[in-house]
Amino acid sequence: MSKPAKEILTNLPTKRTIVPATNKGGVGKSFGTIQLTDYVANHPKKLRVRGFDPDDANRTFQRYFPKLVTPLDPNEEACFDAIVTATDDCDVTILDGAGAKHRNFAMWEKEINLLDTAREIGMTVTYLLVLENDPEGIDHANALTKSASKEIEWIVLLNEKQTKSFAPVQKSYAWGFFKEAEEQGRAAMAFMPRLMDKISVLLQNESLSIGEAQRNPQEFDLLNRQRFNSLHREYTEKFDAMQHLILPKSFLA
C-alpha cells in the first residue's frame, strides 16, 4: 500500500544548503553565487535565506547582501557550523567560496560528515560549480566527480566570459558524470553568459546583482535598463529550470 500524501510530504527534506564545489579562483564563483542568492531571496515562495561569507580577504558576498550575509572567520575553529545551525530558522543557506582558505571548509565538511549531518536534519546539499574552459578547472571537476557521493546534487554553471566553446570540458570525465546526474535529476548545467564590460563595471561599482539592478530601473539609462531586463529574464529562466536543486524538496511538492 502506498504511503498517504501527508506522510510523503512530511518526510521530504525541508532544508537546502548550497556550497562551493572547489577553491578554483577567478572563474566567477562569487558572481554565480550572487545571482543565485538574489533568485532565492526574491523567490515567490518567500523562502527564509541566510548567506555566509568566509572570504576574509574580500568579503564580496557580504558587500552585495549586507543584510542577508554573515561574515565568517575561516581561521576560527567550527566557524562553518553556522551553515548547519542556521537551518533552525531558515530554509536555504548559501556559502560563498573561502578563497585561499577553502581547505578549512573541506576539512570541516569531512570532520562533521556533512552528508550524514544533512540527512539527520532533513537537509539536502547542493554543490555549486562554476567552470571555464581551462585545464586546471577541468582537472578539479574530474577529481571531484570521481569521488563524489550520489547523494550530492549539483548546479554547474559554464562561464562564457572567455569563450563559448566548451569542447575540452565536454570530453572530460566530469561532463559525462554531470550528464548522467542530470538525467537522474541530481544535476543541472547552464551557460553563464559573458557580460559587456560596462555592465560588469556598473554592477561591481554599485555592488548590485543583476536582479537588484533590474528592480531599480531609475538608476540607469534606457539602454542599460533593457540590458538588465534581458539578463534578469535569462537568469530567472535558467534558475527556474533547476529549482529542484535550489529549493528545499518540501517546497516543490
Q: In CATH, what number is assigned to the domain containing residue 98?
A: 3.40.50.300
Structure confidence at residue 11 as a pLDDT band (50, 70, 90)? low
Q: Do residue 227 and residue 185 come from a single domain?
A: no
Cβ neighbours around 106 below 10 Å, total: 13
Asked if residue 4 belongs to a domain, the reply is: no
Strand 49-53 to strand 153-159: parallel, antiparallel, or no bridges (unpaired)?
Answer: unpaired
pLDDT at 183: 96
pLDDT digit string (tens) for 37-63?
Answer: 999 999 999 999 999 999 998 999 999
Q: Do residue 234 and residue 165 come from a single domain?
A: no
Alpha carbon distance 28, 132 (integer Å) = 9
Structure confidence at residue 7 as a pLDDT band (50, 70, 90)? very low
Residues 6+ apart with CB under 8 A from 56: 71, 72, 73, 74, 75, 101
State the burial class of residue 19 (Cβ atoms within 10 Å of its Cβ: 0-12, 13-18, 19+): buried
pLDDT digit string (tens) for 105-134?
Answer: 999 999 999 999 999 999 999 999 999 888
Structure confidence at residue 72 as a pLDDT band (50, 70, 90)? very high
Eight-class DSSP state of 73: -
Asked if residue 5 belongs to a domain, the reply is: no
Eight-class DSSP state of 171: T
Q: Do residue 150 and residue 113 come from a single domain?
A: yes
Q: Do residue 104 and residue 204 come from a single domain?
A: no
Asked if residue 250 belongs to a domain, the reply is: no
Structure confidence at residue 1 as a pLDDT band (50, 70, 90)? very low
Residue 23 has pLDDT above 80, yes or no: no
Q: Do residue 221 and residue 145 come from a single domain?
A: no
- The helix (H) or strand (E) run that includes residue 158 is strand 153-159
Averaged pLDDT of the chain: 91
Tell me the residue length of the chain. 253
Q: Do residue 97 and residue 133 come from a single domain?
A: yes
Asked if residue 235 belongs to a domain, the reply is: yes
Q: Do residue 92 and residue 117 come from a single domain?
A: yes
Q: Do residue 201 and residue 170 come from a single domain?
A: no
Asked if residue 68 belongs to a domain, the reply is: yes
The DSSP line for 95-126 is E---GGGHHHHHHHHHHTTHHHHHHHHTEEEE
Residues 6+ apart with CB under 8 A from 130: 27, 28, 29, 31, 32, 156, 157, 159, 192
Q: Do residue 55 and residue 124 come from a single domain?
A: yes
Residue 126 φ/ψ, nearest 5 degrees: -115, 130
Alpha carbon distance 77, 182 (integer Å) = 35
pLDDT digit string (tens) for 129-181?
Answer: 999 888 888 998 999 999 898 889 999 999 998 777 888 899 999 999 999 99
Q: For the full predicted model, state whether its pTM sits above 0.85.
A: yes
Asked if residue 8 belongs to a domain, the reply is: no
Structure confidence at residue 8 as a pLDDT band (50, 70, 90)? very low
How many structural domains is the chain composed of?
Answer: 2
CB 22 within 8 A of CB 105: no
Residue 134 φ/ψ, nearest 5 degrees: -130, 150
pLDDT digit string (tens) for 199-212?
Answer: 999 999 999 999 99
pLDDT at 102: 85
Q: Do residue 148 and residue 236 come from a single domain?
A: no
Q: Which of 15, 47, 55, 18 is nearest to 130 (CA)?
A: 18
Residue 252 has pLDDT above 80, yes or no: yes
Q: Where a domain ends, among 194, 209, 234?
A: 194
Q: Do residue 66 and residue 132 come from a single domain?
A: yes
The residue range of the domain holding 219 is 196-242
- The helix (H) or strand (E) run that includes residue 53 is strand 49-53
Q: Do residue 45 and residue 166 come from a single domain?
A: yes
